[in-house]
């Protein structure tokens, strides 16, 4: 197990320090987190031409003036789409790395279509080989965590999980798969270095076993209230937060 004290040294801003005119997962949100001495959690997915971009949603509709699937647009096409609340454009992973430049911790969540496509993990691993700053990658999808293990065995990797995966919110997952994910039954094959677990579902046996028996740092998400902050302090090593400043 690598030394991951740096991973839990400071609170981590969910999708960067957004608000006050800064949109989530933008370079401005990242720069604000750096200035405030927070870590940064950011979401990654692939454009139609295989560029790693920083964006959470599967579609453009919620945050931008565009619409439709993000994965259907090339990186160049995505650069023409504006945010509703900011003049910025959707950044690439490389642009994010250039802005952060090793000054704070980066936690990069790889989004999944749950169809077994591991190209995102391979691309992220290749780009991070030349990055000298503190960085870790993680995903809800064990297949992507296994792919990170294959393509970049030295890169700190984590599994993002929660206790309950409802059929409504996770329609692409069968009940056995949801059970396996919630109880972290894949850890022998994915071999994560850390766990990122929902604050709403703590305490829970699986993540606490990983923390206290196997020595994996436990980071909890997404902390938005004082009650959740107290829960995070008691049960986890560090928190991913949003909507306030710790």
- Is a pLDDT exceeding 90 seen at residue 60? yes
For 239, phi and psi rounded to 5 degrees? Answer: -125, 150
Is 96 within the bounds of a domain?
A: no
Confidence of residue 30 (pLDDT cuts 50, 70, 90): very high
Confidence of residue 128 (pLDDT cuts 50, 70, 90): very high
Angle, to 10 degrees, between the axis of helix 119-128 and the axis of helix 142-151?
40
Is 60 within the bounds of a domain?
A: no
Predicted confidence at residue 78, as pLDDT, reads 97
Q: From CA 108, how far away is CA 63, in angstroms rounded?
A: 20
Is 76 within the bounds of a domain?
A: no
Give the position of tokens 């969540």.
109
Confidence of residue 143 (pLDDT cuts 50, 70, 90): very high
Overall average pLDDT of the 41-59 stretch: 98
Q: How many domains does the chain have?
A: 1
The sign of the dihedral angle between the CA atoms of 85, 87, 90, 93 is negative
Of 195, 99, 204, 203, give the one whose Cα is nearest residue 145.
195
pTM of the predicted protein model: 0.96
**Longest Cα separation, the chain:** 49
- Is a pLDDT exceeding 90 seen at residue 204? yes
Is 78 within the bounds of a domain?
A: no
Is 53 within the bounds of a domain?
A: no
Is 63 within the bounds of a domain?
A: no
Instruction: Give the domain CATH number at 184.
Output: 3.20.20.190
Is 69 within the bounds of a domain?
A: no
Is 127 within the bounds of a domain?
A: yes
Write out the residue range of the structural domain in which residue 207 sits. 5-47+102-241
Question: Residue 210: which H helix or E strand, with range?
Answer: helix 205-212
Confidence of residue 2 (pLDDT cuts 50, 70, 90): confident
């Amino acid at each position: 197990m690598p030394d991951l004290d740096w991973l839990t040294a400071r609170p981590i801003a969910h999708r960067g320090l957004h608000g006050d005119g800064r949109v989530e997962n933008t370079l401005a949100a990242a720069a604000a987190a750096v200035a405030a001495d927070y870590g940064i959690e950011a979401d990654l997915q692939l454009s139609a031409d295989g560029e790693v971009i920083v964006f959470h949603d599967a579609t453009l509709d919620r945050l931008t003036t565009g619409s439709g699937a993000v994965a259907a647009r090339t990186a160049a096409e995505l650069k023409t789409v504006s945010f509703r609340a900011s003049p910025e454009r959707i950044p690439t992973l490389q642009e994010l790395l250039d802005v952060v430049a090793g000054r704070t911790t980066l936690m990069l969540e790889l989004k999944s279509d749950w169809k077994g496509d591991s190209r995102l993990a391979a691309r992220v691993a290749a780009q991070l080989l030349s990055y000298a700053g503190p960085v870790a990658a993680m995903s809800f999808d064990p297949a992507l965590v296994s792919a990170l293990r294959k393509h970049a065995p030295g890169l700190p990797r984590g599994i993002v999980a929660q206790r309950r995966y409802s059929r409504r919110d996770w329609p692409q997952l069968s009940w056995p798969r949801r059970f396996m994910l919630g109880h972290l039954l894949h850890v022998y094959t994915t071999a994560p270095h850390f766990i990122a677990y929902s604050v709403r579902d703590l305490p829970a046996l699986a993540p606490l076993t990983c923390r206290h028996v196997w020595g994996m740092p436990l980071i909890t998400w997404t902390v938005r209230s004082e009650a959740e902050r107290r829960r995070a302090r008691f049960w986890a090593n560090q928190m991913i937060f949003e909507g306030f400043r710790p």
